[in-house]
Amino acid sequence: MANDASAAFDTLSPAVSKGSLADPFTPSADSSLWRKNFLLGAATASYQIEGAVDEDGRLPSIWDTFSATPGKVLAGDTGAVACDHYHRWESDIDMLASLGLEGYRLSIAWPRVMDAAGRPNRKGLDFYKRLLNRLKEKGITSFVTLYHWDLPQHLEDRGGWLNRDTAYRFADYTDLMSRELAGTVDAWATLNEPWCSAYLGYGNGHHAPGLANDRFATQAMHHLLLAHGLAIPVLRGNDPASQKGIVANIGRGTANSDSAADQRAAHLFEVQHNAWILDPLLKGEYPQDLFELWPGTEPLVLDGDTQTIAAPLDFLGINYYFRTNVASDGAHGFRDVPLEGVERTQMGWEVHPDGLRDLLTGFRSTYRNLPPIYITENGMASDDKVIDGHVDDTQRISFLKRHLAAVDQAIKAGVDVRGYFLWSLMDNFEWAFGYERRFGVVHVDYSTQKRTVKRSAELVAKFLKERKAKV
């Protein structure tokens, strides 16, 4: 196996490195990406693109509250308008189809489809029904995430994910959505990135609802995973033909030295970022090393919870962006030690495609019951600008090539990876970073809502067209 993930792809030509628009985006002839059944798509999330936060009965979410709080979001940005997808969804789906993308991962805004008493909001439901039916008409596979962080504010007012009852309210929400949308969804994901919801939302306060307590983080995580476990049998009962899974973000941790302390720090980093979620799902238990990091933070777990959480999955969604170099903090944990001279994105994240391959192959060894995997998010932010009607996002082109090559290497090593979703279809509200950071393969001018397809999207479309002709 090559150590450099770019080896499986044609390298960027000198012309492209200088900004030319002539670069091909073609995997090597033996790449797994040529398989007809390897799904290539793009992903979005409701609060990041929809806007229309006060329309058609939608209730406030924790992100409406958080982003309206001074100092919480860069430049005071909010998702009130975002990409105005709520009004422009038809043309956005047409754009998705015109690129030849085969899959679309979207999320449902919980506050848009139910009122505070748990009754359905028909206008909100109809929005998603129209959208999903349009995807079916276009022959695009739909992956629907039930929770991508926009918890109804009225539930947060009752304790949010610190309140066990929220897990049962999530099961009610799942029941409504899977009854209403049965037959229109190809794959359901219960949660997106519970690590972010629990740790960034309740552990360090970087995300909504903005609480900061390690004990809160572990309890919130338990209730999130319990919600997932309660939802899986509901989905199986209401929509048996669909796939059911969950989406986890994963992080690669590497040690700053060969010392035992630094090696242990890297291990604990991956325990906190990966095993905290995957062990309960796939082993039915929390990793005890987690509580070495956070002594005394064990969540309250009731009888039967671990069995509920470990419900069998049809697929596991994996989101990957970067690796973190760490050293021992001299106590129970780790501290970041940023490497110098490495490639970074607009987010400051290190570009490290080999980390994705290494994590995937590691999971295959660690979890005997590892389900089929979809890379449900992978992408990068860059300061993209439209010049003469074009966006030549050279770094993103290189980033995507190398990460797709890493996926190909993992497949050849025996990992069952069945698809890959670009993050994101279009530039959008990037949570606490507002609108400054652009992750899309389509540029959005927020003042006019004009969409401009970036060169990365053009090259992906070109490859998909070639693959369709070939297979």
Could you give the residue numbers annotated as active site? 377
Distance CA 428, CA 106 (A): 13
Rounded to whole angstroms, the maximal C-alpha distance in the chain is: 62
Distance CA 41, CA 143 (A): 10
CA 62 to chain centre: 19
In this structure, are residues 369 and 432 in contact, taking their beta carbons and an 8 Å threshold? no
**What does DSSP assign to residue 392?**
-
Q: What angle do CA 129, 449, 445 make, to 5 degrees?
A: 135
Angle between helices 214-238 and 165-180 (to 10 degrees): 30
Q: Would you list the DSSP string of 428-463?
A: ---GGGTTSSB--SEEEETTTTEEEE-HHHHHHHHH
In the beta sheet, which residues pair with residue 193? none
Distance CA 88, CA 90 (A): 6
Specify the pairing of strand 187-192 against strand 103-107: unpaired
Contacts of 143 (CB under 8 A, 6+ apart): 41, 43, 103, 104, 105, 106, 186, 187, 188, 189, 317, 374, 376, 421
For residue 407, the one-letter residue type is V
Find the radius of gyration of the CA atoms of the chain: 21
Contacts of 119 (CB under 8 A, 6+ apart): none
Supply 382's token pair: 């860059």
